[in-house]
Structure 1
Amino acid sequence: MKGKLAFLEKWYDATKRAAGHKRATPILCAVSFAESSFFPIPVDLMLMPMVQARPKAWWRLALIASFFSVLGGIFGYFLGMLFFDTIAGPVLERMGKLDSMNTFSDKVNEDGALWVFGAGFTPFPYKVITIMSGAIPVSFGIFVTASVLSRTLRFLAVAGIVRLMGETAERWMKEHFAIFTFGLFAVLLVLYFGLKAVMPH
């Protein structure tokens, strides 16, 4: 693994070896929840080897990751709403997410729902989204809806492609995950604005 995720290589390999363990699913639940508010390791790095180990359960694993990721996102939302100045903000700043915080704060005022969806789907740090959404605040209903859609589509896409293409897809996404998610998001944007243009007002 190259770039800023290189330090996760040993963790990734250990997770892949343990992906078929009977306790792998509870660990996936915990990682999915924690990654949405404070844990630095992307859920996808655990989801991909688990799908490799249990390909027939790809959709169930993706939905489990989505459900607990959204629950963790809701936790992060209220963490941002209630404790941003004392806890959440300083933690994000120490994690080097200050630029991401400022970017999200600026963009969310332009189109909150679309930005939350896009940030939840792409490699933009989801923990920043959840905490800042509560601090700004973004409407809770909009936040939950955008989070459910983005996280479910992302994890189903990752798990589904790994299920279909096996180790080839897993290796490629491991090296080029940002390109993969941004590419899918671009396709969704084209579909969204295309449908918006042809639908009657």
Structure 2
Amino acid sequence: MLRRLYDWTMALSARKAASTWLAVIAFVESSIFLVPADVLFLPMALARPQRAWRYALIATVASVLGGIAGWWIGYYAFDAIAKPILEFYGKLDTFEELRSGITFEMVVLFLVTSGLAHLPPIKVVTILAGAAHVNIWLFIGSAIVARGARFYLLAWLLRRHGEGIRHFIEHRLGLITAIGAGVLLVGYVGYKFLTH
């Protein structure tokens, strides 16, 4: 099923309405969808590098709006909507563990690590922020910075290095950013341990 979703999303990049589909995918990725917007963003930015910044803006705005929808689901409709979504993706137990000790700082950290390496998935972070009643304005500001940094960094890499960077992004950037995200998490845990 995941492979079919991936292939379907990739096929959207060749359509005339690709920008609209990018916005739709970025929006739903931040609240309920499994496949990241990068799958659509990368081939679009490679096919038209002169539009990479525009695509980054579309993806950022749609992703933040989707994040607000995820926050709303977590805040107002956790049992009715969020719980079944998390159960479907097998993330409910992880979510409940995170929810018990979440702070605003952790939400920001998760937004950054999710933006870098999809760890944890962005939909989990947005729903978690709402369920933990994180201030919506602080959440929006953090989401703009974290999601914007991801898409604008990808746009910059693709404009600067073109097709040659695509293989690296698709196969190795995830590993490198996962290591970076892991270092951030360990640093945060170490800081909390030392200050308590």
Are 1:52 and 2:46 matched, yes or no? yes
Which structure 1 residue ranges, 5 or more long, are not aligned?
194-201
Question: Match of 2:51, as an amino acid?
Answer: A
The separation in 2 between residues aligned to 1:52 and 1:30, in whole angstroms, is 19
Are 1:78 and 2:72 matched, yes or no? yes
Moved more, 83-92 or 102-111: 102-111
Moved more, 146-155 or 164-173: 164-173
The separation in 1 between residues aligned to 2:53 and 2:182, in whole angstroms, is 23
TM-score, normalised via structure 1 length: 0.79
Are 1:141 and 2:137 matched, yes or no? yes
2:30·2:63 contact (CA, 8 Å) conserved in 1?
yes
Aligned ranges 1:1-201 → 2 under 5 Å: 10-11=7-8, 13-16=10-13, 18=14, 21-102=15-96, 104-105=98-99, 108-109=102-103, 111-121=105-115, 122-123=117-118, 124-182=120-178
Change (3 A) 1:9 1:120: closer
Question: Percent identity of the aligned residues?
Answer: 35
- Give 1:115 shift: 2.0
1:43-65 CA deviation, whole Å, 9 max, x = no partner?
Answer: 11110000011101111110110
Which structure 2 residue ranges, 5 or more long, are not aligned?
189-196
Change (3 A) 1:127 1:110: closer
| Aligned residue-pair number | 183
The separation in 2 between residues aligned to 1:67 and 1:13, in whole angstroms, is 21
The separation in 2 between residues aligned to 1:104 and 1:111, in whole angstroms, is 13
Question: Match of 1:143, as an amino acid?
Answer: F
Question: Match of 1:167, as an amino acid?
Answer: E
Query: What SS is found at the alignment partner of 1:22?
Result: coil
The separation in 2 between residues aligned to 1:182 and 1:105, in whole angstroms, is 22
- Give 1:132 shift: 1.1
2:111·2:125 contact (CA, 8 Å) conserved in 1?
no
Question: Match of 2:76, as an amino acid?
Answer: L
The separation in 1 between residues aligned to 2:167 and 2:97, in whole angstroms, is 31
Residue 198 of structure 1 corresponds to none
Change (3 A) 1:146 1:104: farther
TM-score, normalised via structure 2 length: 0.81
The separation in 1 between residues aligned to 2:71 and 2:58, in whole angstroms, is 20
- Give 1:15 shift: 3.9
Change (3 A) 1:38 1:13: closer
Change (3 A) 1:90 1:138: same
1:94-148 CA deviation, whole Å, 9 max, x = no partner?
Answer: 1112244145425632724532432442312000111111111111122111100
1:33·1:69 contact (CA, 8 Å) conserved in 2?
yes
Question: Match of 2:7, as an amino acid?
Answer: K
The separation in 2 between residues aligned to 1:23 and 1:145, in whole angstroms, is 29
